[in-house]
Chains A and B, each alone.
Chain A
Amino acid sequence: MSNSTPEITLSARHLARSFGSKRVIHDVSLELKRGEVLGLLGQNGAGKTTTLQMLTGCLLPDDAGKNKCSIEICGISLSRQPVSAKAHIGYLPETPPLYRELSVNDYLMFAARLRGMKPAAAAEALVQTVQRCGLEAVGKKIIGTLSKGYQQRVGIAQAIVHSPTVIVLDEPTVGLDPSQIRDIRALIRELGNSGSVILSTHLLGEVENLCDRVEIMQAGKLIYGGTSASMQQHGSVSGFIVSLRNPPPLGELENIPGIDSVEQLSDTQFRILHKPEQTPGDALLALAAQQGWRLDQLTPLQATLEDVFVKITNAEKDIEGASK
């Protein structure tokens, strides 16, 4: 794409969904650009799966096509032209949709043809996908006899075999061992470069490693959206942990300009907090060299996504509690 602004591959506006009288999704709007990996993060039962089902046409939103509610895949309306819109989607549901009695190759061939590929093109795509997902060794095996990890990989393979523009993955790394998780994450990253990926997960590490952007979902609403880097900064603390092999008295550290508080963690370790706009690190380093404190290590404090996630979801709960 030569355009400076990347093309929007998926745009969903004002989705809402009820099951019976229970409203599970409230007014969710999402946008996805080419070359982007979006992580949909949320606790169990937050409505991630329901949202993804609506994005792939497995479930109709309430008043689909009416009012303000709309889903567009590559600019094609999912409610008005479902067939041509769905040709651009690859979807891995929570449970991989596998015909357990078929062999891996037969199944993937079926999946490719189902998405409208010609037989010759499908055969080519099959070879490529099998290789990408590391399924060469099991191509002729019956899916039902494979281990959970392999089945999950076959599930991912069926979602990408037709090289769709929008890839929707519902908890893609469930049931995989750590080395497989690394491979699959690398694969998703790669897919995100050519197309666009939206994945749901409750693993924060996944978001940290993989996603350009994060949307946090809670009780059917999107409560936070931003890049995963900015999410990390959200509500983080400024400071560092410093270890000095020849530590000075506590007061001397507190006197360094810019430092708010110092807490002694052990004989040689200190947690130093400062204001975000100040950087007392330079002064500390200079002093340490001058006084012979023998600096060992200086680690900036970083809030993990976990902290941030809990912070954001709790804040939301508090707001709700206050308004009731």
Chain B
Amino acid sequence: MIRLLAMRELRSLFAMPSTWFMLAALQFIFAWFFLARLDAFLEIQPQLAQLANPPGVTVTVAAPVFNTVALLLMMMVPMFTMRMIAEERRSQTFALLLSSPLSGWHIVFGKFFGLLIFLSALMAPVPLMLYTLAIGTNLDHGLLLGNMLGLLLLAASYVALGLYVSALTTQPVIAAIGALAVSVGLWLADIGASAEDSPWHLISPFNHFQNFNAGMLDSGDAAFFVLFSLFFLLMAMRRIHNNRRYG
């Protein structure tokens, strides 16, 4: 049932021209940034070569590219999540789901996985671009895999957050701005907090991505992403139930 709902979500996404436009625009930005980093690397490569233990191409090109993708993810996930529940409520299609033999968790997880699959497809060209470097040099596969895993977990938390905000309203625009405000707010609070042990660092998903970005797999970070996602998914389920109660 979850797969059915996820497939429906994907089908609807790919049926909309705006999705294709965003896909194209984002691929362009990813590629542009990748090439810019590569250019910069080639320029400073002679100087780097004089160092005793020079940083490789993976650290100087791939890590910053992944970091940018993560930032862009924060900005664009709300644009995809905004429609998920708010739009269904507005166009009255939610009644179909509510009157079908489904529980709240089917609906929420169906939408969650549907969008997560879409985002994975959207980000897939990034590692592909980076792997083209393997033609000319040796890559640090561990760092790349760590980044991909981190990116996926980060996407999951932003989707869960956006899904919950979308369940709060019937206006997709409000859902988008709400989710953006929370995720950007968490990020700003994180980079603004100067103290090393500030609690803002702990609750910001973007901060937890930094370890993945540096190639460090910390089970604590992974657990944070899973808990963050689960928390908002559960809240969304609760919200859908309350929606039946309060109309």
Within 8 Å of chain B (Cβ to Cβ): is A126? no
> Contact between B99 and A83 (Cβ–Cβ < 8 Å)?
no
How many pairs, one residue from A and one from B, have CB atoms within 8 Å of each other in the complex? 75
Chain B residues with CB under 8 A of A57: 98-99, 244
> Contact between B103 and A114 (Cβ–Cβ < 8 Å)?
no
Closest A residue to B95 by beta carbon equals A93
Closest A residue to B93 by beta carbon equals A97
Chain B residues with CB under 8 A of A59: 244, 247
| Min C-beta distance of A41 to chain B, whole Å | 22
For the complex, give the distance between the alpha carbons of A149 and B99 in Å: 23
> Contact between A102 and B96 (Cβ–Cβ < 8 Å)?
no
Within 8 Å of chain A (Cβ to Cβ): is B71? no
Taken residue by residue from 92 to 118, chain B's Cβ proximity to chain A (1 for < 8 Å, 0 otherwise) reads as 111111111111000000000000000
> Contact between B94 and A97 (Cβ–Cβ < 8 Å)?
yes
Within 8 Å of chain A (Cβ to Cβ): is B47? no
For the complex, give the distance between the alpha carbons of A85 and B99 in Å: 10
Binds B, one of A105-113, A186-194, A213-221: A105-113
Within 8 Å of chain B (Cβ to Cβ): is A58? yes
Within 8 Å of chain A (Cβ to Cβ): is B141? no
**Which residues in window 115-146 of A have CB below 8 A to B?**
115-116, 142
> Contact between B16 and A58 (Cβ–Cβ < 8 Å)?
no
Chain B residues with CB under 8 A of A82: 101, 103
Binds A, one of B7-15, B57-65, B127-135, B211-219: B7-15
**Which residues in window 57-89 of A have CB below 8 A to B?**
57-60, 82-87, 89
Within 8 Å of chain A (Cβ to Cβ): is B4? yes
> Contact between B94 and A83 (Cβ–Cβ < 8 Å)?
no
Chain A residues with CB under 8 A of B98: 56-58
> Contact between B15 and A101 (Cβ–Cβ < 8 Å)?
yes
Chain A residues with CB under 8 A of B96: 91, 97, 111, 114, 158
Within 8 Å of chain A (Cβ to Cβ): is B91? yes
Known contacts A57-B244, A101-B16; is-contact A91 B95 (Cβ 8 Å): yes
Closest B residue to A57 by beta carbon equals B99
Known contacts A57-B244, A59-B247, A97-B92; is-contact A115 B100 (Cβ 8 Å): yes
Known contacts A86-B99, A158-B96; is-contact A100 B91 (Cβ 8 Å): yes
Chain A residues with CB under 8 A of B91: 95, 97-98, 100
**Which residues in window 228-247 of B have CB below 8 A to A?**
244-245, 247
Residues of chain B touching chain A, judged by Cβ–Cβ distance below 8 Å, are 1, 4-5, 8, 11-12, 15-16, 91-103, 244-245, 247
| With A97-B96, A114-B97 already in contact, 15 other A-B pairs whose C-beta atoms are closer than 8 Å | A53-B95, A56-B99, A58-B95, A83-B102, A85-B101, A86-B101, A89-B99, A91-B96, A102-B11, A102-B12, A110-B4, A114-B5, A115-B101, A116-B101, A158-B96
8 A-B residue pairings within 8 Å (CB atoms): A19-B247, A58-B99, A95-B91, A98-B93, A100-B91, A110-B8, A114-B4, A114-B97
